[in-house]
Amino acid sequence: MSAEAKLQELGITLSEPASPVASYVNAVRTGNLLFISGGLPDLANESYKGQVPTQVSPEVAKEAARNSVLGRLAVIRKELGSLDKVTRVVSVQGFVNAASDFGDVPQVINGASDTLVEVFGSEIGSHSRAAVGVASLPLNVCVEVALVVEVA
Protein backbone atom coordinates (compact mmCIF):
# COMPACT_ATOMS: atom_id res chain seq x y z
CA MET A 1 0.00 0.00 0.00
CA SER A 2 1.30 3.45 -0.87
CA ALA A 3 2.08 5.98 1.85
CA GLU A 4 -0.63 8.32 0.59
CA ALA A 5 -3.20 5.50 0.64
CA LYS A 6 -2.06 4.47 4.12
CA LEU A 7 -2.59 8.01 5.42
CA GLN A 8 -6.12 7.92 4.02
CA GLU A 9 -6.76 4.52 5.59
CA LEU A 10 -5.54 5.81 8.96
CA GLY A 11 -7.71 8.92 8.64
CA ILE A 12 -4.69 11.23 8.87
CA THR A 13 -4.89 14.62 7.17
CA LEU A 14 -1.61 16.50 6.91
CA SER A 15 -1.75 20.24 7.57
CA GLU A 16 0.00 22.82 5.42
CA PRO A 17 3.55 23.10 6.78
CA ALA A 18 4.40 26.27 8.65
CA SER A 19 6.91 28.67 7.18
CA PRO A 20 10.25 28.81 8.99
CA VAL A 21 10.46 31.48 11.68
CA ALA A 22 14.26 31.75 11.67
CA SER A 23 17.16 31.60 9.19
CA TYR A 24 16.57 28.20 7.60
CA VAL A 25 14.40 26.41 5.05
CA ASN A 26 12.08 23.48 5.71
CA ALA A 27 13.88 21.14 3.32
CA VAL A 28 16.99 20.84 1.19
CA ARG A 29 17.36 18.32 -1.61
CA THR A 30 20.76 17.20 -2.77
CA GLY A 31 20.84 14.36 -5.27
CA ASN A 32 18.36 11.74 -4.13
CA LEU A 33 18.37 12.83 -0.48
CA LEU A 34 15.89 15.23 1.10
CA PHE A 35 16.92 16.73 4.44
CA ILE A 36 13.95 17.89 6.50
CA SER A 37 14.60 20.55 9.14
CA GLY A 38 13.65 19.87 12.72
CA GLY A 39 9.98 20.42 13.37
CA LEU A 40 7.97 21.02 16.49
CA PRO A 41 4.64 19.51 17.48
CA ASP A 42 1.40 21.51 17.25
CA LEU A 43 2.11 24.72 19.16
CA ALA A 44 -1.59 25.22 19.90
CA ASN A 45 -1.53 22.10 22.08
CA GLU A 46 -0.31 23.39 25.45
CA SER A 47 0.12 19.81 26.71
CA TYR A 48 3.12 19.51 24.35
CA LYS A 49 5.02 22.27 26.18
CA GLY A 50 7.45 21.64 29.01
CA GLN A 51 10.10 19.26 30.24
CA VAL A 52 9.67 15.47 30.26
CA PRO A 53 8.72 13.94 32.72
CA THR A 54 8.42 16.85 35.19
CA GLN A 55 5.86 18.88 33.17
CA VAL A 56 4.91 16.54 30.32
CA SER A 57 4.32 12.82 30.76
CA PRO A 58 6.35 10.43 28.60
CA GLU A 59 3.10 9.24 27.01
CA VAL A 60 2.09 12.77 25.98
CA ALA A 61 5.64 13.44 24.75
CA LYS A 62 5.44 10.28 22.60
CA GLU A 63 2.19 11.62 21.13
CA ALA A 64 3.96 14.94 20.48
CA ALA A 65 6.73 13.07 18.62
CA ARG A 66 4.08 11.48 16.41
CA ASN A 67 2.51 14.89 15.84
CA SER A 68 5.90 16.40 15.00
CA VAL A 69 6.79 13.72 12.46
CA LEU A 70 3.40 14.13 10.76
CA GLY A 71 4.35 17.78 10.30
CA ARG A 72 7.61 16.64 8.72
CA LEU A 73 5.61 14.43 6.34
CA ALA A 74 3.63 17.52 5.33
CA VAL A 75 6.92 19.20 4.42
CA ILE A 76 7.94 16.19 2.33
CA ARG A 77 4.60 16.19 0.51
CA LYS A 78 4.90 19.93 -0.22
CA GLU A 79 8.45 19.47 -1.56
CA LEU A 80 7.78 16.36 -3.66
CA GLY A 81 4.06 16.53 -4.42
CA SER A 82 3.50 13.08 -2.92
CA LEU A 83 4.85 10.94 -0.10
CA ASP A 84 4.91 8.07 -2.59
CA LYS A 85 8.15 9.50 -4.01
CA VAL A 86 9.96 8.55 -0.79
CA THR A 87 11.97 5.39 -1.44
CA ARG A 88 13.50 5.14 2.05
CA VAL A 89 13.39 6.90 5.39
CA VAL A 90 17.13 7.11 6.03
CA SER A 91 17.45 8.77 9.41
CA VAL A 92 15.49 10.34 12.26
CA GLN A 93 16.97 12.78 14.73
CA GLY A 94 14.76 13.16 17.77
CA PHE A 95 15.30 15.61 20.60
CA VAL A 96 13.46 15.53 23.92
CA ASN A 97 13.30 18.42 26.38
CA ALA A 98 14.22 16.12 29.25
CA ALA A 99 15.02 16.30 32.93
CA SER A 100 18.65 15.36 33.55
CA ASP A 101 17.65 12.03 35.11
CA PHE A 102 15.09 11.04 32.44
CA GLY A 103 16.32 7.87 30.74
CA ASP A 104 13.39 6.97 28.49
CA VAL A 105 14.18 9.37 25.63
CA PRO A 106 14.25 6.51 23.06
CA GLN A 107 10.71 5.45 24.03
CA VAL A 108 9.46 9.01 23.48
CA ILE A 109 11.01 9.19 20.00
CA ASN A 110 9.39 5.84 19.19
CA GLY A 111 6.29 7.98 18.64
CA ALA A 112 7.96 9.33 15.50
CA SER A 113 9.69 6.11 14.44
CA ASP A 114 6.59 3.95 14.83
CA THR A 115 4.55 6.44 12.81
CA LEU A 116 7.02 6.34 9.92
CA VAL A 117 6.91 2.54 9.80
CA GLU A 118 3.11 2.66 10.06
CA VAL A 119 2.82 5.06 7.11
CA PHE A 120 5.59 3.75 4.83
CA GLY A 121 5.79 0.08 5.89
CA SER A 122 8.87 -1.53 7.40
CA GLU A 123 10.87 -1.79 4.16
CA ILE A 124 10.76 1.94 3.42
CA GLY A 125 10.02 3.30 6.90
CA SER A 126 12.69 1.56 9.00
CA HIS A 127 15.56 3.95 9.63
CA SER A 128 18.68 4.82 11.59
CA ARG A 129 18.09 7.15 14.51
CA ALA A 130 19.45 9.39 17.21
CA ALA A 131 17.27 10.04 20.28
CA VAL A 132 18.81 12.76 22.42
CA GLY A 133 17.72 14.35 25.69
CA VAL A 134 18.39 18.09 25.79
CA ALA A 135 18.06 20.85 28.39
CA SER A 136 15.61 22.93 26.34
CA LEU A 137 13.93 23.22 22.94
CA PRO A 138 12.46 26.16 21.00
CA LEU A 139 9.25 27.60 22.45
CA ASN A 140 9.59 25.17 25.38
CA VAL A 141 8.14 22.24 23.40
CA CYS A 142 8.82 18.73 24.65
CA VAL A 143 10.11 17.26 21.35
CA GLU A 144 11.65 18.17 18.00
CA VAL A 145 12.10 15.77 15.08
CA ALA A 146 14.23 16.05 11.91
CA LEU A 147 14.42 13.56 9.02
CA VAL A 148 16.50 12.50 6.07
CA VAL A 149 14.71 10.60 3.32
CA GLU A 150 15.78 9.10 0.01
CA VAL A 151 13.57 10.09 -2.91
CA ALA A 152 12.92 8.88 -6.43
Residues facing 141 on adjacent strands: 49
Q: Structure pTM?
A: 0.96
pLDDT digit string, tens, across residues 55-78: 999 999 999 999 999 999 999 999
Cα gap 40→30, rounded to integer Å: 23
Q: Domains in the chain, ordered, with CATH?
A: 6-10+28-151 (3.30.1330.40)
Instruction: List phi, psi (to 5°) of 127.
Output: -150, 165
Distance CA 110, CA 102 (A): 15
Burial class of 23 by CB neighbour count within 10 A (0 to 12, 13 to 18, 19+): exposed
Each residue's pLDDT tens digit, 5-55: 999 999 999 999 988 989 999 999 999 999 999 999 999 999 999 999 999
Residues pairing with 93 in the sheet: 130, 146
